[in-house]
Amino acid sequence: MPRFSLTTPIYYVNARPHLGHAYTTIVGDAFARWHRLNGDDVHFLTGTDEHGLKIQQAADAAGVSPQAFTDSIAPLFADAWTRLDISYDDFIRTTEERHKRGVARLLQACYEAGDIELDTYSGLYCVACEAYFTEEELEGGNCPVHKRPVERVEEENWFFRLSRFADRLLDWYAKHPGCITPSYRMNEVTSFIKQGLRDFSISRKSLAWGIPIPWDPEQVTYVWFDALANYITAVGYGNDDGAFVRNWPVSVHLIGKDIIRFHCIYWPAMLMSAGIEPPQHWAVGGWLLVGGEKMSKTTGNVVDPLDLIDDFGVDGFRYYVLSDTQYGNDGDFTYEGLVSRYNSDLANNLGNLAARVATVVQKKCNGVGTAPRADSPLSDIARQAVADSTAAWNSFQPAKALEATWSLIHATNAFLENHEPWKAEPSAELNGIMGDALEALRIVAILCVPAMPRTAQILWQRIGLDGDVSAHRLPNSVSWGQYPAGHGVEKGNPLFPRKSL
């Protein structure tokens, strides 16, 4: 079984999960489900980033210890993912022992390789980013991401000698073209490396909330060095070497565009220093903006994904998030956009198709599904929809994959409008037409598994099929002509009741 492993970023637990976190996680879940549907041995990792100054400050503000604070917030992420049907295989918290052991091992390996040395640093630090900036990178004296003042920080710290890795990184990227997508992100990374890399501090003296440096317990590990290591500590590094060998390198890291440098420069260099293979792929996503701004607690424009699933259902929300933005570009969340996409694609197209097929089968075929025809005009359209959605899922394009799936839904609705089976008398031809429509719905149900697992299962049952839709493996399951005649077809409640603004 081919192995496919993927990760989301691990989220800061300074506040409850918001739409931006849900976005990246739902995209990851859809890819994980797509690969399972194809028979891959999937490992989907997510988790929480719990150390560092930002968390320490949030805990101070709440008047509790950082451990108690993170213990109260981390479960909110796990619960939100459960409610959003996120099928993660592992959830790592950076305060877990397995992670601390792995981080200590990684630090030691880089230290022994001679890539960690003591130095003094004075720099401009943004706590919200947990990162240093140069004067030139600031905008009007403020952090370019959070638009708020940075602090001057000076300390004697341990430094990772990133400057030594420029050529090795460039060589590696030259040998692995296409490993960062979209491709303009690869250009961004390589041109950044070519400008010369600066060493970065990997420890903090003034902070207690972190993982101690093994050979200098007065200092704790810089939160980004700690956090990046989650990708290996979760799969055995520092704990179970056999598991680590089986599970690394990871197939793909999903990351937001704001954390490219950490993931595509720091991280592979840290791994190279420790003698570990870099990741195979980085799929970089844009932001889901709200009113044109990045959502953050600091900006105060936070949308809670759990409020939306109360109104639109888990699948209505998942579908919107996956279909409305081309992964890689920025999207703009609006309530109006959500209502309009829900009504047009889900209520009027998919929901309507399922309802009208069931109605006609009930009225004209005694409620029993009929067989599709081998030479149906829908068969080529279905084949194309499968090919296009396969290519799109495999290249990290959920919106395109759903567009391809919807092309079959549109074509099936048009096919029915053309034949108007609701006006016809029962006949062999009518049975064929309805069999074709049922077969199209069967294929649609399978193709909907990654984005809308609940809907896929309901649809599957309504057209009279048994068992778990997600247990049917591509590509065989989606070849035309397999809908079995003779099963009861059910209309049920509307799959997606229309919403008004």
> Residue 241 burial (CB < 10 Å; 0-12/13-18/19+)?
exposed
Question: Is residue 200 within 8 Å of 266, Cβ to Cβ?
Answer: yes
Choice from 4, 5, 6, 24 touching ligand MSP (CB under 6 A): 24
Residue 113 in tokens: 């390789």
Other CB atoms closer than 10 Å to residue 455's CB: what's the count? 26
SS3 125: strand
Q: Provide CB contacts within 8 A for 313, sequence distance 6+.
A: 454, 496
- Tell me which residues are annotated as active site: 18, 21, 126, 129, 143, 146, 294, 297
The site map against ligand MSP for 277-306 (x = CB under 6 A) is ----------xx-----xx-----------
> Between 23 and 319, whose beta carbon lies closer to ligand MSP?
23
Task: Give Cα separations from 262 to 189, 200, 223, 226, 482 (angstroms).
Answer: 10, 11, 11, 12, 48
User: What's the rounded Cα separation, in Å, for the pair 321 and 312?
Assistant: 12
> Between 259 and 382, whose beta carbon lies closer to ligand MSP?
259
State in angstroms the smallest separation of the CB of 328 from ligand MSP.
Answer: 12
State in angstroms the smallest separation of the CB of 48 from ligand MSP.
Answer: 8
Part in contact with ligand MSP (CB under 6 A); list of ranges 21-29, 136-144, 202-210, 402-410: 21-29
Part in contact with ligand MSP (CB under 6 A); list of ranges 155-163, 224-232, 354-362, 366-374: 224-232
User: What's the rounded Cα separation, in Å, for the pair 149 and 138?
Assistant: 9
Confirm or reject binding of residue 235 to ligand MSP (CB under 6 A): no
User: What's the rounded Cα separation, in Å, for the pair 74 and 278?
Assistant: 28
Part in contact with ligand MSP (CB under 6 A); list of ranges 20-28, 209-217, 234-242, 467-475: 20-28
Part in contact with ligand MSP (CB under 6 A); list of ranges 132-140, 251-259, 352-360, 480-488: 251-259
Confirm or reject binding of residue 35 to ligand MSP (CB under 6 A): no
Question: Is residue 7 within 8 Å of 250, Cβ to Cβ?
Answer: yes
User: What's the rounded Cα separation, in Å, for the pair 146 and 148?
Assistant: 5
Choice from 4, 5, 21, 453 touching ligand MSP (CB under 6 A): 21
Choice from 228, 338, 430, 456 touching ligand MSP (CB under 6 A): 228
H/E run at residue 109: helix 97-112
Choice from 127, 180, 259, 264 touching ligand MSP (CB under 6 A): 259
Tokens 């609705």 belong to residue: 413
Choice from 4, 5, 6, 9 touching ligand MSP (CB under 6 A): 9
Confirm or reject binding of residue 11 to ligand MSP (CB under 6 A): yes
Q: Provide CB contacts within 8 A for 188, sequence distance 6+.
A: 260
User: What's the rounded Cα separation, in Å, for the pair 120 and 147?
Assistant: 27
State in angstroms the smallest separation of the CB of 278 from ligand MSP.
Answer: 14
State in angstroms the smallest separation of the CB of 21 from ligand MSP.
Answer: 5
> Between 309 and 355, whose beta carbon lies closer to ligand MSP?
309
Q: Give residues 36-55 in contact with ligand MSP (rule: CB under 6 A).
A: 49
User: What's the rounded Cα separation, in Å, for the pair 432 and 416?
Assistant: 12
Choice from 5, 6, 10, 401 touching ligand MSP (CB under 6 A): 10
Choice from 74, 227, 260, 338 touching ligand MSP (CB under 6 A): 227
Task: Give Cα separations from 438 to 348, 409, 447 (angstroms).
Answer: 18, 11, 14
Confirm or reject binding of residue 255 to ligand MSP (CB under 6 A): yes
> Between 259 and 430, whose beta carbon lies closer to ligand MSP?
259
User: What's the rounded Cα separation, in Å, for the pair 231 and 99?
Assistant: 10
Question: Is residue 327 within 8 Å of 27, Cβ to Cβ?
Answer: yes
Confirm or reject binding of residue 12 to ligand MSP (CB under 6 A): yes
Choice from 4, 5, 6, 20 touching ligand MSP (CB under 6 A): 20
SS3 492: coil
Q: Provide CB contacts within 8 A for 23, sequence distance 6+.
A: 285, 288, 321, 325, 331
Output DSSP code: residue 347. Answer: I
Part in contact with ligand MSP (CB under 6 A); list of ranges 6-14, 180-188, 207-215, 320-328: 6-14
State in angstroms the smallest separation of the CB of 235 from ligand MSP.
Answer: 14
Part in contact with ligand MSP (CB under 6 A); list of ranges 16-24, 103-111, 138-146, 189-197: 16-24
> Between 333 and 406, whose beta carbon lies closer to ligand MSP?
333
Choice from 66, 102, 210, 256 touching ligand MSP (CB under 6 A): 256
Residues lying near ligand MSP in the complex (CB under 6 A): 9-12, 20-21, 23-24, 49, 227-228, 230, 255-256, 258-259, 287-288, 294-295
